[in-house]
């Protein structure tokens, strides 16, 4: 009990605004290795001038950002901000600039490393926001673009610091946000505070002018009603609506465009078609006094141009996000009227299994040693059934040699390394994203052992189907004579490729095959809890455009093994809850 209480207290102490502010202030931002080489050569020349250094520093936004930060601290005029790189360098001079450049950390970033990838993703989103703010500011007041550019980077820099201070927490936040959860809710859940609150707490440290600090503080804690009223002023019809006085004054607050661009970049990094992004675009329409349709077309064009000029390997770009379909709607901590709770939950489960079905997917705790997940050889032929060996040892997932996508790494990090699994719904949301976007497996179903019918499996989660309702009440025979029974009897995996589809279709229950509507190929894998088969994962590529390969099949098996880890975590949580209730 003492150890448990101490662990809980340590966990609580590592959360909250004051804790993370201290952590972020201890982080030193790096610069690019190639920038360091160029600067080193220039600094060795006796006739090196500030203008020569400026050309190189301007190519590295993080280094330039730090030069401006140093100049702000050295400024003797507290009422004026250093808002451009030439101003910052002239203020510091060669004497003060040289030691800063020599003491800087220069890193060769590798996107395959979790920490590096986190930083590059945060940087890419920040640069997208800064480019939007620059363009909008130039439209409003020519010549004000650069100042808005650097203010926007400053607003986003909290994510740079967080990705370096705790890449695991950064990835955990991003993975949950990518499945549709509210960013502020997730940040508060994991960090104990939001990143906007962290930005506000860092304003005094940045030593900005009181004018800038006061305006940013006001904009970073906006009144939701005010934003909603501004959104209603969007130019949707043929004639621009009249903007009320209070809303017009609020939009004239200095740096409003920078905060708006920061918000749009964060929302669009999840989905261009989410409700949050659409609301932000309406505010942009009101702010720029442009028709909403023109604003949407323009920001989409800007996203494509930005992607062409800012290409980072292993990082999701705004243009790629334009190709992703909208995320399914979901609500966090949605309250329902008591008299309608049971009925609405029942209807929802029958109508759409992509909603939360935790009540129907109760995991019985199994008191056994954790089973080690062994990699399955990738050179096995398609359509064959492979056995997955298990042994009692600390669990380790297969090597990520064939799986280099950011989305899979995020799912792997959260599920296997961090054990951040809260429900089957949340676990399968992440898995379905990997299956869809990385592998082209557009539809998936999770079957679990039926509690009402022995030797049968029941659908508890479905995603990607035009109508998910058939799987809500579907209980399938899983006897040893059928393919599902073989998978439940021995942990295995199946790839029914186009030339094998007819053979394996005959081994599936007729009810299931009719509901699947003749996919051209599909994959199946046993889902286990601590080595004990408890369900089956199904996925196919009906409507997709990707051709399945051995590496895709290997990744599919890796996803199923990560699901095994997640289910094991849920079982452990249930055991712990039962112990506490005794």
Last residue of a domain, one of 104, 128, 160: 104
Q: Domain check: are 132 and 250 in the same one?
A: yes
**DSSP letter string over 4-51?**
HHHHHHHHHHT-SHHHHHHHHHT----EEHHHHHHHHHHHTSTT--HH
Q: Domain check: are 490 and 519 in the same one?
A: yes
Q: Helix, strand, or coil here: 134?
A: helix
Assigned domain for 276 exists: yes
Q: What is the dihedral of CA 232, 236, 239, 242, to 10 degrees?
A: 10
CATH number at residue 303: 1.10.3210
pTM over 0.85? The answer is no
Calpha distance 364→322 (Å, rounded): 41
Q: Domain check: are 93 and 127 in the same one?
A: no
Last residue of a domain, one of 104, 123, 138: 104
Calpha distance 340→335 (Å, rounded): 11
Q: Which two tokens stand for residue 394?
A: 């600390």
Domain span at residue 89 reads: 31-104
| Residue in the structure block whose two tokens are 């399955």 | 376
The total of structural domains in the chain comes to: 3
Assigned domain for 266 exists: yes
Last residue of a domain, one of 86, 104, 122: 104
Contacts of 277 (CB under 8 A, 6+ apart): 264, 267, 268, 270, 271
Q: Domain check: are 229 and 147 in the same one?
A: yes
Q: Domain check: are 66 and 20 in the same one?
A: no
Assigned domain for 339 exists: no
Q: Domain check: are 443 and 464 in the same one?
A: yes
pLDDT at 13 (0 to 100): 58
**DSSP letter string over 543-558?**
T--PPP-HHHHHHHHH
CATH number at residue 381: 3.30.450.40
Assigned domain for 337 exists: no
Q: Could you tell me where the beta strands, DSSP code E, fall in 360-408?
A: 385-387
Q: Helix, strand, or coil here: 444?
A: strand
Q: Domain check: are 257 and 355 in the same one?
A: no
Q: Domain check: are 442 and 430 in the same one?
A: yes
**Tens-level pLDDT at each residue, the chain (582 residues):** 444 444 444 455 567 899 999 999 888 888 888 888 999 888 888 888 888 898 899 888 899 999 998 888 887 677 778 888 888 888 888 888 888 898 888 888 887 788 888 888 889 899 999 999 999 999 988 888 889 999 999 999 999 999 999 988 998 898 888 888 889 999 999 999 999 999 999 988 888 888 888 999 999 988 899 999 999 999 887 777 888 999 999 999 999 999 999 999 999 888 888 889 999 999 999 999 999 989 998 998 888 888 887 777 767 778 777 776 666 655 444 444 444 444 444 444 444 444 433 333 333 333 333 334 444 444 444 444 444 433 333 333 444 344 456 678 778 877 888 777 888 888 888 888 889 888 889 999 999 998 888 888 998 888 888 887 788 778 888 777 788 888 988 888 999 999 999 889 888 888 888 889 889 999 999 999 888 899 999 999 988 888 888 888 989 999 999 999 999 988 888 888 888 877
Contacts of 417 (CB under 8 A, 6+ apart): 168
Calpha distance 10→307 (Å, rounded): 42
Q: Which two tokens stand for residue 537?
A: 């994962």
Q: Using CB atoms within 10 Å of the CB of residue 399, give its burial: 0 to 12 exposed, 13 to 18 middle, 19+ buried.
A: exposed
Taking alpha carbons only, the member of 472, 574, 468, 490 closest to residue 536 is 490
Assigned domain for 146 exists: yes
Calpha distance 150→131 (Å, rounded): 10
Calpha distance 432→444 (Å, rounded): 7
Assigned domain for 336 exists: no
| Residue in the structure block whose two tokens are 């669990």 | 395
Contacts of 529 (CB under 8 A, 6+ apart): 363, 366, 564, 567, 568, 571
Q: Domain check: are 130 and 66 in the same one?
A: no
Contact call for residues 130 and 160 (beta carbons, < 8 A): no
Q: What are phi and psi of 75, to 5 degrees?
A: -65, 135
Q: Distances from the Cα of 279 to the Cαs of 66, 275, 296, 321, 563, in angstroms? A: 33, 6, 12, 17, 34
Assigned domain for 551 exists: yes
Q: Using CB atoms within 10 Å of the CB of residue 77, give its burial: 0 to 12 exposed, 13 to 18 middle, 19+ buried.
A: exposed
Q: Could you tell me where the beta strands, DSSP code E, fall in 325-387?
A: 385-387
Taking alpha carbons only, the member of 222, 561, 200 closest to residue 396 is 561
Q: Distances from the Cα of 421 to the Cαs of 283, 355, 426, 504, 564, in angstroms? A: 35, 16, 7, 33, 11
- The strand pairing partners of 496, in sequence order, are 522
pLDDT at 206 (0 to 100): 85
Q: Helix, strand, or coil here: 242?
A: coil
| Residue in the structure block whose two tokens are 């600039």 | 97
Assigned domain for 45 exists: yes
Largest CA distance in the chain: 84
Q: What are phi and psi of 365, to 5 degrees?
A: -65, 135
Calpha distance 531→373 (Å, rounded): 8
Q: Domain check: are 89 and 115 in the same one?
A: no
Taking alpha carbons only, the member of 206, 161, 189 closest to residue 16 is 189
Calpha distance 538→13 (Å, rounded): 42
Q: Domain check: are 198 and 243 in the same one?
A: yes
Q: Distances from the Cα of 422 to the Cαs of 12, 142, 463, 538, 567, in angstroms? A: 19, 50, 19, 22, 10
Taking alpha carbons only, the member of 289, 257, 275 closest to residue 330 is 275
Q: Domain check: are 20 and 45 in the same one?
A: no
Calpha distance 83→507 (Å, rounded): 69
- The strand pairing partners of 456, in sequence order, are 477
Q: Helix, strand, or coil here: 538?
A: strand
């Amino acid at each position: 009990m003492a150890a448990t209480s101490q662990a809980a207290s340590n966990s609580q102490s590592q959360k909250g605004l004051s804790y993370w502010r201290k952590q972020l202030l201890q982080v030193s931002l790096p610069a690019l290795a190639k920038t360091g080489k160029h600067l080193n050569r220039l600094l060795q020349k006796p006739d090196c001038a500030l203008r020569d250094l400026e050309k190189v520093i301007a190519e590295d936004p993080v280094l330039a950002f730090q030069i401006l930060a140093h100049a702000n601290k050295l400024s003797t005029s507290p009422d004026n901000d250093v808002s451009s790189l030439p101003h910052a360098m002239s203020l510091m001079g060669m004497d003060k600039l040289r030691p800063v450049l020599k003491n800087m950390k220069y890193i060769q970033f590798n996107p395959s490393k979790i920490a590096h990838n986190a930083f590059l993703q945060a940087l890419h989103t920040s640069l997208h926001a800064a480019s939007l703010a620059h363009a909008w500011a130039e439209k409003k007041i020519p010549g004000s673009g650069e100042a808005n550019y650097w203010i926007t980077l400053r607003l986003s820099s909290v994510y740079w610091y967080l990705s370096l201070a705790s890449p695991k927490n950064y990835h955990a936040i991003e993975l949950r946000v990518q499945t549709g959860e509210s960013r502020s809710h997730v940040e508060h859940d994991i960090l104990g505070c939001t990143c906007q609150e962290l930005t506000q707490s860092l304003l005094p440290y940045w030593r900005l002018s009181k004018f800038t600090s006061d305006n940013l503080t006001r904009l970073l804690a906006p009144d939701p009603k005010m934003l909603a009223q501004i959104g209603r002023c969007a130019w949707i019809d043929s004639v621009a609506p009249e903007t009320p006085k209070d809303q017009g004054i609020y939009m004239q607050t200095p740096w409003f465009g920078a905060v708006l661009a920061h918000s749009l970049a964060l929302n669009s990094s999840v989905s261009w078609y989410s409700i949050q992004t659409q609301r932000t675009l309406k505010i942009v329409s009101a702010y720029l006094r442009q028709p909403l349709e023109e604003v949407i077309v323009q920001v989409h064009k800007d996203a494509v141009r930005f992607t062409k000029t800012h290409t980072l390997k292993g990082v999701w770009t705004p243009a790629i996000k334009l190709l992703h379909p909208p995320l399914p709607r979901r609500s966090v901590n949605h309250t329902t009227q008591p008299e309608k709770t049971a009925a609405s939950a029942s209807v929802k489960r029958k109508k759409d299994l992509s909603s939360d079905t935790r009540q129907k997917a109760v995991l019985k705790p199994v008191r056994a040693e954790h089973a080690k997940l062994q990699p399955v050889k990738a050179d096995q032929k398609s359509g064959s059934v492979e056995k997955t060996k298990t042994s009692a040892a600390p669990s380790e997932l297969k090597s990520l040699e064939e799986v280099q996508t950011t989305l899979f790494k995020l799912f792997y990090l959260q599920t296997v390394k961090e054990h951040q699994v809260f429900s089957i719904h949340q676990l399968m949301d992440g898995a379905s994203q990997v299956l869809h976007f990385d592998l082209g497996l557009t539809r998936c179903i999770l079957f679990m052992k039926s509690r009402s019918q022995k030797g049968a499996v029941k659908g508890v989660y479905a995603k990607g189907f035009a109508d998910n309702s058939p799987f809500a009440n579907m209980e399938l025979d899983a006897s040893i004579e059928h393919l599902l029974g073989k998978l439940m009897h021995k942990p295995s995996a199946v790839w029914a490729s186009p030339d094998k589809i007819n053979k394996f279709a005959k081994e599936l229950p007729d009810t299931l095959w009719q509901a699947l509507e003749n996919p051209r190929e599909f994959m199946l894998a046993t889902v286990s809890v601590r080595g004990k088969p408890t369900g089956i994962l199904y996925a196919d590529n009906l409507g997709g455009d990707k051709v399945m390969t051995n590496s895709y099949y290997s990744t599919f098996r890796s996803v199923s093994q990560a699901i095994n880890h997640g289910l094991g975590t849920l079982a452990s949580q249930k055991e712990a809850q039962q112990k506490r209730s005794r």
